[in-house]
Structure 1
Amino acid sequence: MTLEIITSDSLSPMRHGFFTRRGGASSGVFAGLNCGTGSSDQRDIVAINRARVADAMGVAPSNLATVHQVHSARAVTVADGAADPKPQADALVTATPGVALGILTADCQPVLFADVENGVIGAAHAGWRGARDGVLEATIDAMTDLGAERDCIVAVIGPSISQGAYEVGPEFLDNFMQEDPDNSRFFANGTGDRMLFDLPAYGLHKLRAAGVAAEWTRHCTYSDPDRFYSFRRATHAKEADYGRLISAIRL
């Protein structure tokens, strides 16, 4: 099956893509393009999937750089290719042609960044914790350290869990209200004391407040099982594990 790749005109002409699960070699609960080395999927199958992504990006598998994601606010600079072992971080930036940056998600926000004019790109994994703690701002700062200019940077949020599927408890709301009372705008009433959190809207707010143009592709990972993996959907279905989507960009 052919890979399905969601792109954004805003990131053109940078080669990039938010890959769906279609077109991969994995089976079972991972059926499709599972690129998560941290999953319990067969490692050789995951390697095949990642090689297909690298080929689609026009790079060797060794030049598809990813990180060991830990829900942090750390961004690392990539100079040549994939590091071994992978650094613990949740964002990557580079100004090196021929290197693709990859981020894995399964409900969290994959965010791809590009400053076309100055030749700097970035990729970030931004769940609620990373977004709250500053991973998006850290990515932008790391890009400017490489010569990017804020008013030239465009950021695109890819397939993420949408507000209607993201139910949280009152303690979650408290965390965000302590940061800024205006964060109440990102919550809607759910059932009982539950709230519905708008992660993409929060990500867009953080990006725009940091001085960059930003948009969301408006794809919900939870509600489209044929195209996307979802940690929350797998949890609700009591599945043993779940696949990871990959989003990538290169100069």
Structure 2
Amino acid sequence: MVELIKAPLLDAVPHGFAGRRGGVSGGIYAGLNVGLGSEDDPDAIVRNRDLARDAVLPGAALVTVRQVHSARAETVTAPFAMDARPEADAIVTDRPGLLLGILTADCVPVLFADPAAGVVGAAHAGWKGAIGGVTDATLAAMEALGAARARIVAAIGPCIGRASYEVTDDFAHRFEEQDAGNARFFSAGKPGHLQFDIGGYVAARLAAAGVVRVAVLDEDTYSQPDRFFSYRRACHRGEPGYGRQMSMIGLPA
């Protein structure tokens, strides 16, 4: 069975944050690995993507992009061929029958909806995309389709937690140079290092952009190896690869 985490704020639309439970992959990718860029068995990856889709919106066309840690949002009107996926880190649509999917393995997945307008979105916010404004780009793209920022609700899914995300002082300075108030997302760690609350940072960006209802699911990908894939955990273990999980939202046909 595919484990889906849902956010009550998004109950009006089909959605779910999938982890690694369920699926057909084995070895270091055991479970529901949906990462096309991984070294997992390609047939297993395709089967896992189908299982994830059917757990949220059976029969829908799953739409994903080539994620490059950018702040670019792509507006989708029809499915992309696998070899024609655009480079972007957010997707929005107003078309029924499409299921938007964002892949993560520690980065922050964000799902958005304005049910009254029939517009949904999904964003992948790694630290580069987060500081670059990928969530702001998602909101702007949704508004271009008729969504109203005051109506948009958002949910932040499983991502690396503050206790697991050690960064350098220089890393933190990037955020503090953008806004001195960002210092609150960093807490003391070992000498020369800090602990970064990236989920909290993304939530604050959404609030500052005018999204008044934001749910933070507070699930740490790094510390739950039985439930989630984690890039940083795989690196610390010296593993040769890592799986990805998918967060999905769509409009029923």
TM-score (norm 1): 0.97
Contact kept? 2:113, 2:120, Cα under 8 Å: yes
- Structure 1 consecutive aligned stretches of length 4 or more whose deviation exceeds 4 Å: none
Distance of 1:21 and 1:214 partners within structure 2: 24
Contact kept? 1:93, 1:121, Cα under 8 Å: yes
Tell me by how many angstroms 1:134 deviates. 0.4
Contact kept? 1:157, 1:215, Cα under 8 Å: yes
CA offsets per residue over residues 139-189 of structure 1, 9 Å max, x none? 000000000000100010000000000000111011111111111111001
Correspondence for 1:222: 222
Contact kept? 2:20, 2:30, Cα under 8 Å: yes
Distance of 1:209 and 1:222 partners within structure 2: 27
Correspondence for 2:169: 170
Of residues 57, 73, 76, the one that matches 1:75 is: 73
CA offsets per residue over residues 189-216 of structure 1, 9 Å max, x none? 1001100000011000000101112121
Tell me by how many angstroms 1:42 deviates. 1.0
Correspondence for 2:3: 4
What is the identity percentage for the equivalent residue pairs of Structure 1 and Structure 2? Answer: 51
Contact kept? 1:112, 1:122, Cα under 8 Å: yes
Partner letter of residue 74 of structure 2?
A: V
Alignment of 1:41-52 (within 5 A): 41-52=40-51
Correspondence for 2:160: 161
Q: Secondary structure at the match of 1:182?
A: helix
Correspondence for 1:64: 62
Correspondence for 1:242: 242
Correspondence for 2:20: 21
Contact kept? 2:7, 2:215, Cα under 8 Å: no
Residue 192 in 1 paired to residue 191 in 2? yes
- Matched residue pairs, number? 249
Alignment RMSD: 0.9
TM-score (norm 2): 0.97
Partner letter of residue 78 of structure 1?
A: V
Correspondence for 1:134: 133
Q: Secondary structure at the match of 2:45?
A: helix
Partner letter of residue 79 of structure 2?
A: G
Tell me by how many angstroms 1:59 deviates. 4.0
Distance of 1:185 and 1:8 partners within structure 2: 26
Unaligned runs of 5+ in 1: none
Contact kept? 1:59, 1:99, Cα under 8 Å: no
Correspondence for 2:120: 121
Residue 92 in 1 paired to residue 70 in 2? no
